[in-house]
């Protein structure tokens, strides 16, 4: 599928392939209840399982890159602070993310559902080049400070709210606010709802272009490039 999309998208459009992360994969293999309770009662079992799922994720990301994906984005909802204590995240999940980011070629991104503010700094230190956040991260200026200059902040208009139900004007206004407050790459905050009108997605692209022309057209790079290494 990735190679078909690569062909259809052409070279100008970045192709970002999504996949489950090591924690979500482990929770599916063990069962969500077991995963969350064993983290406390049987951490060694979870650790062993994460070793396996971590390797599988790296291997699969390599396959997606070889098929033409410019970036691979892991979605690891169960590892977010809404589900997991950030201290357990630090000891169990963080090493897996570090290894994942070092593996293979291509850009590595992560999407975290809910309010990911408590783990944004750790995630940026794991080596992700971009972190996709939901609208539940409300203080974007603080979020951008936490991830630093080297990590792009991606998001964060509500997929189930304004992008699904808003007018084009409302979407553009909200998009401008996101870009002003620290979003580097404008995007929906989570998966796009199936009934979202195409014009609303187009409004998002137009808002990005308008912001770019207003702020960057006379030089420098636009707000939708990945942050560069120093």
Using CB under 5 A, list all residues that contact Zn ion.
Answer: 113, 190
Distance between CA atoms of residues 88 and 92, nearest Å: 6
**Beta carbon of residue 134, minimum distance to Zn ion (angstroms, whole number):** 5
**Beta carbon of residue 226, minimum distance to Zn ion (angstroms, whole number):** 20
CB of 49 or CB of 137, closer to Zn ion: 137
CB of 22 or CB of 211, closer to Zn ion: 22
CB of 54 or CB of 188, closer to Zn ion: 188
CB of 38 or CB of 134, closer to Zn ion: 134
Asked if residue 156 has a cis previous peptide bond (ω within 30° of 0), the answer is yes
**Beta carbon of residue 130, minimum distance to Zn ion (angstroms, whole number):** 14
CB of 24 or CB of 49, closer to Zn ion: 24
**Beta carbon of residue 228, minimum distance to Zn ion (angstroms, whole number):** 26
**Beta carbon of residue 191, minimum distance to Zn ion (angstroms, whole number):** 7
């Amino acid at each position: 599928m990735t190679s078909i999309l690569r062909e259809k998208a052409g070279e100008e459009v970045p192709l970002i392939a999504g996949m489950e992360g090591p924690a979500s994969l482990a929770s599916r293999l063990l069962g969500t209840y077991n995963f969350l309770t064993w983290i406390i009662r049987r951490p060694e079992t979870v650790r062993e399982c994460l070793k396996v799922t971590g390797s599988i994720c790296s291997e699969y990301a390599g396959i997606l890159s070889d098929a033409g994906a410019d970036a691979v984005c892991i979605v690891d909802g169960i590892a977010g602070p809404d589900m997991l204590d950030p201290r357990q995240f630090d000891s169990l999940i963080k090493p897996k993310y570090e290894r994942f980011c070092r593996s293979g070629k291509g850009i590595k991104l992560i999407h975290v559902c809910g309010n990911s503010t408590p783990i944004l700094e750790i995630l940026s230190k794991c080596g992700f080049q971009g972190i996709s956040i939901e609208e539940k991260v409300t203080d974007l200026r603080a979020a951008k400070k936490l991830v630093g200059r080297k990590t792009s902040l991606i998001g964060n208009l509500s997929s189930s709210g304004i992008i699904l139900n808003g007018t084009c004007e409302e979407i553009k206004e909200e998009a401008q606010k996101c870009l002003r407050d620290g979003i580097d790459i404008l995007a929906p905050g989570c998966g796009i709802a199936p009934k979202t009108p195409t014009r609303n997605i187009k409004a998002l692209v137009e808002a990005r272009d308008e912001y770019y022309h207003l702020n960057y057209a006379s030089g420098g790079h636009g707000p939708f490039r990945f942050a560069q290494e120093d």
